[in-house]
Amino acid sequence: MSDNGAGKQVQLNAERTAALRGLARGFSYPDAAWVETLLDGQWPQALAEVLEPLGVETAEFRRAVGALPAEPAAALRALEVEYTYLFISAVPHVPAPPYASAYTEQGLLMGEPAEAALVAYRQAGLALAEDYRDLPDHVAAELEFLAWLGEQALAAQEAGDEELAGTRLAQQQAFLEQQLQLWLPRFCRRVIEAARLPFYRELARLATALLAVAPTPHHVDSSGGN
């Protein structure tokens, strides 16, 4: 691969990594500090800047953010209510469980996908934080993990450690193919179908589009080999 091609690939990896990090935050429980960045435009702008170069259109998402209440406390409350309804508790059932295990044949939480996620985290040298109170296969945790692997690969490339960069990108690709891609599209479809606020509907569409048009590539040796 040429120097220009290698540089473009690094830039695409950086944008994809930032997009994964942004989506992970979006699928985490809302808090006041994050809502402030939503309403002042910082977070939507940052997400658009990394998604649009990957071919993901964000105009509808921006409109969904604009449809939130303008007052921060009211916006936070609206997002909390919707998040709880979609992902935590609703009658007669949660419309879109945010756990990989819920999309297996058994449909039981803390199933094989949760164990597989833990194994992948450990193999990468990570452990769940002591204050982490959710399951290891939560959508936000899995997106965060992909983002972390991408960040590690980029840092290794900057340091000239192509072997480590290749290892991290291979781990990222394996987790994407063997874990996230097996259930995230179904999760996003449920969110799109059940969401009452445009915000989470459009966030799910962004996640679907990112997986469809911008899969994480395998590492390519910049010295010229594939």
* Domains identified in the chain and CATH numbers: 3-213 (1.10.3480.10)
> What sign does the dihedral 40-44-50-54 (CA atoms) show?
negative
Short-list 111, 163, 154, 172, CA closest to 12: 154
pLDDT of residue 222: 37
pLDDT of residue 108: 86
The pLDDT tens digits along the chain (226 residues) read: 456 666 777 888 899 999 999 999 999 999 999 999 999 999 999 999 999 999 999 999 999 999 999 999 999 999 999 999 999 998 889 999 999 999 998 888 899 999 999 999 999 999 998 888 999 999 999 999 999 999 999 999 999 999 999 999 999 999 999 999 999 999 999 999 999 999 999 999 999 999 886 444 444 443 333 3
Q: Which residues share a beta bridge with 64?
A: none
Helices assigned H by DSSP within 27-131: 32-39, 42-51, 59-66, 72-83, 112-123
Short-list 109, 82, 116, 96, CA closest to 191: 96
Residue 125 CA: distances (Å) to CA of 49, 55, 149, 170, 183: 30, 32, 11, 15, 24
For residue 201, how many other CB atoms are within 10 A of its CB? 20
Q: Three-class SS of residue 174?
A: helix
pLDDT of residue 91: 80
CA atoms within 13 A on the CB side of 40: 7
